């Protein structure tokens, strides 16, 4: 499939310019076959400092604009992204591998955050509070936090940027993002459209590089950066948090998950199978909110597992740029090795593959959609984040047992329950130690809702009115001397 070359950029976008660096050229590969899509000029530490310099210089004028002026520019960015939805989706599929229909979905999903925060920009309200004495009042205003930096992942190379950048820009902040080295083209295409939309130079900067550490040190360590936002693994998130501690930055951390998908005896089984399918196999299982552990009540275990295996075996795997593909490749060989390792370990400990279980004959980046039964909660496939198209099924007897099993993890991002019993919906939703609960729903992410986790899944929320709060500081004005 040919790409719109006007949107394929090969250097970092700093201060409104394509910034070619003499250091570290690197290639972007198509995960289907490892072929090179583009060769990029990689940024280094001094380029990251330049991006923060640009943000510092540009932010006062951006912050001084009216909320409506910022909103209009964001809205234009949204419109341009949607006009180029097909082109952006083709770039995303080429570098990330997800099927074109999912890539188009991600472009709309990502753009929706821009539309949403363009609207919310105009609704940054403060408060007035009766004062402590008759001649004083307490006034609260909210202001953008300052320069925001971010590091974003390869699994959603468009939407994970927009859901951080849009609230930051809406709040009057300047933004510097280091895009994932596997998928920088989607980020750069967003920058090109942002430029066309009229985002001023220095307000939205994208750094591309195949070296993370020196750039990460600037984004987490530069005292001029007020806030750092990260989406990625819990392990990396912990060390970035520690780096942010030296300058006491505000942080938003959207880290790993180990989502339980609990199906009770009273569930509509066909709905549960459909929900499981989309929740598990979207993006070939490479999302933080993917169901990772399926807990199925004994009375329906056999029927659910057979139906899920049957549905999974019908998924069409292949090159995502071709039509009618449901599952693309995994991102790289390391990902395949990790998924194959978890499945092989489980099988060696007694698990049974009802379908799948192997690297597919399509190619060495393709792992078959897999449904495993006979899983025990202590197996590594049930304890680690799989990040692949593998559904491990565990049988349970009681509601109490299901909740205990679901909560038996250090992380707490998404969770899912299927039941028709309204009392159980409330009991279980309140008992689950997760930031999000899908109730008879397998896909729960959207711009209106606060996305985020508890425990070691991180802190902060993205999307919704709460997603804007994360980019605002509260300032208290003590108004005294009011008596005449």
For ligand SIN, the binding residues (CB under 6 A) are 155-156, 231, 254, 287-289, 445
Which DSSP string corresponds to 334-391?
A: HHHHHHHHHHHHHHHTT-EEEE--SB-TT-TT-B--EEEES--TTSHHHHS---SSEE
Residue 62 CB partners (closer than 8 Å, separation 6+):
70, 169, 172, 173, 174, 200, 203
Q: Which is closer to ligand SIN, CB of 278 or CB of 479?
A: 278
Q: Dihedral sign, CA of 377, 381, 382, 383? A: positive
User: From the CB of 477, what's the least distance to ligand SIN, in Å?
Assistant: 37
Q: Which is closer to ligand SIN, CB of 155 or CB of 305?
A: 155
Residue 134 CB partners (closer than 8 Å, separation 6+):
482, 483
DSSP SS3 for 115? helix
By CB atoms closer than 10 A (0-12, 13-18, 19+), residue 178 is buried
Q: Which is closer to ligand SIN, CB of 105 or CB of 216?
A: 105
Cα distances (Å, whole numbers) of residue 114 to 118, 154, 295, 306, 464:
6, 19, 36, 41, 11
User: From the CB of 167, what's the least distance to ligand SIN, in Å?
Assistant: 15
Residue pointed to by tokens 């990330």: 96
209 membership: H or E segment, kind and range: none
Distance CA 402, CA 223 (A): 46
Distance CA 211, CA 384 (A): 26
DSSP label of 210: S
- Give the sheet arrangement for strand 390-396, strand by strand: 352-355, 370-373, 390-396, 291-297, 259-263, 414-418, 436-439
Active site members: 254, 288
Q: Dihedral sign, CA of 38, 44, 48, 51? A: negative
């Amino acid at each position: 499939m040919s790409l719109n070359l006007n949107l394929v950029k090969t250097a970092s976008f700093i201060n409104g310019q394509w910034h070619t660096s003499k250091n570290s050229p690197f290639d972007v590969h198509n995960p289907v076959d490892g072929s090179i899509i583009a060769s990029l000029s990689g940024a280094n530490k001094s380029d990251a400092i330049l991006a923060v310099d640009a943000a510092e210089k540009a932010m006062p004028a951006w912050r001084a604009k009216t909320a409506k002026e910022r909103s209009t520019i964001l809205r234009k960015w949204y419109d341009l992204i949607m006009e180029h939805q097909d082109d952006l989706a083709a770039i995303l599929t080429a570098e990330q591998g997800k099927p074109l229909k999912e890539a188009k979905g991600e472009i709309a999903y990502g753009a929706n955050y821009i539309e949403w925060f363009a609207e919310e920009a105009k609704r940054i309200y403060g408060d007035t509070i009766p004062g402590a004495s008759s001649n004083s009042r307490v006034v609260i205003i909210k202001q953008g936090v300052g320069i925001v930096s971010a590091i974003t992942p390869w699994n959603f190379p468009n939407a994970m940027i927009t859901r951080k950048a849009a609230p930051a820009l809406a709040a009057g902040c300047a933004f510097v993002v280091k895009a994932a080295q596997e998928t920088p083209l989607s980020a750069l295409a967003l920058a090109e459209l942002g430029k066309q939309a009229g985002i001023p130079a220095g307000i939205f900067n994208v750094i591309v590089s195949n070296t993370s550490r020196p750039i990460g040190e600037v984004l987490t360590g530069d005292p001029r950066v007020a806030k750092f936002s990260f989406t990625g693994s819990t392990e990396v998130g912990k060390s970035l948090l520690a780096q942010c501690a030296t300058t006491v930055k505000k942080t938003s951390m959207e880290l790993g998950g180990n989502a339980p998908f609990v199906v009770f005896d009273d569930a509509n089984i066909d709905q549960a199978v459909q929900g499981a399918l989309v929740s598990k196999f979207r993006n070939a299982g490479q999302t933080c909110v993917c169901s990772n552990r399926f807990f199925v009540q004994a009375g329906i275990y056999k029927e659910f597992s057979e139906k899920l295996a049957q549905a999974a075996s019908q998924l069409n795997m292949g090159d995502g740029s071709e039509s009618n593909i449901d599952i693309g490749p995994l991102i790289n060989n390391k990902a395949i090795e990790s998924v194959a390792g978890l499945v092989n370990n489980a099988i060696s400990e007694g698990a049974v593959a009802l379908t799948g279980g192997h690297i597919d004959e399509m190619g060495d980046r393709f792992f078959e959609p897999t449904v495993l039964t006979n899983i025990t909660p202590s197996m590594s496939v049930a304890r680690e984040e799989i990040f692949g198209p593998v559904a491990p099924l565990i049988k349970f007897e009681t509601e109490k047992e299901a909740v205990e099993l679901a909560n038996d993890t250090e992380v707490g991002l998404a969770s899912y329950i299927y039941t028709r019993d309204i009392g159980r919906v409330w009991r279980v939703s309140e008992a689950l130690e997760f930031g999000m609960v899908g109730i008879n729903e397998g896909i729960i992410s959207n711009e209106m809702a606060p996305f985020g986790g508890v425990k070691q899944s991180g802190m902060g929320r993205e999307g919704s009115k709460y997603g804007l709060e994360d980019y605002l500081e509260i300032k208290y004005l003590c108004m005294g001397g009011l008596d005449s």
